[in-house]
Structure 1
Amino acid sequence: MKLTKGEKIPEFKLSDHQEEEITLEKFKGKNVLLSFHPLAWTSVCRNQMQALEENYDQFEKNNTVPLGISVDPVPSKRAWAEDIGLENLRLLSDFWPHGEFASKLGIFIREKGISGRVNILVNDQGEILWVKEYDIPELPDIDEVLKVVSDNA
Structure 2
Amino acid sequence: MQSVIVQPGDPARNFSLKDQNDKTFDLYEQAKKRSLLSFHPLAWTEFCAAQMKSLEDNLDEFTRLNCIPVGISVDSRPCKQAWAKSLGITRTPLLCDFWPHGAVAERYGLFREENGFSERANVIVDEQQKVIFVKVYPVHSVPDIQEILRFLQGTA
TM range (shorter): over 0.9
- Per-residue CA deviations over 1:75-124 (Å, capped at 9, x if unaligned) read 00000000000021100000000000101111100111000000000013
| Alignment partner, residue 137 of structure 1 | 140
* Residues in 2 aligned to 1:20 and 1:86: alpha-carbon distance in whole angstroms: 15
Q: Which runs of 5+ in 2 are unaligned?
A: none
Give distance in 2, aligned partners of 1:128 and 1:29.
Answer: 14
Q: Distance in 2 between matches of 1:142 and 1:2?
A: 21
Q: TM-score, normalised by structure 2?
A: 0.94
Aligned 8 A contact 1:129 1:152 in 2: no
The offset of 1:152, in angstroms, is 2.2
Which is worse superposed, 78-87 or 21-30?
A: 21-30
Q: Any conservation in 1 of the 2:14–2:28 contact (CA below 8 Å)? A: no
2:149 alignment partner in structure 1: 146
Q: Is the 8 A contact 1:15 1:22 kept in 2?
A: yes
Give unmatched runs, 5+ long, in structure 1: none
Distance 1:106 1:37 in 2: 14
SS state at 2:114 partner: coil
Alpha-carbon offset, residue 42 of structure 1:
0.2
SS at 1:119's partner residue?
Answer: strand
Q: Which runs of 4+ in 1 moved over 6 A?
A: none
State the partner residue of 1:106. 109
1:77 maps to which residue? 80
Match of 1:50 in 2: 53
1:11 corresponds in structure 2 to 14
Are 1:62 and 1:149, in contact at CA under 8 Å, matched by a contact in 2?
A: yes
Equivalents in 1 of 2:68, 2:55: separation in Å?
Answer: 10
Q: 2:38 aligns with which of 32, 35, 38?
A: 35
Between the two proteins, the alignment pairs up a number of residues equal to 153
Work out whether 1:122 is the aligned partner of 2:122: no
Q: Would the aligned equivalents of 2:102 and 2:117 in 1 still touch at CA under 8 Å?
A: yes
C-alpha offsets along residues 24-83 of structure 1, whole Å, 9 cap, x if unaligned? 133221000000000000000000000110010110110000000000000000000000
Between the two proteins, what is the percent identity of the paired residues?
A: 42
Aligned-residue offset at 1:9: 2.2
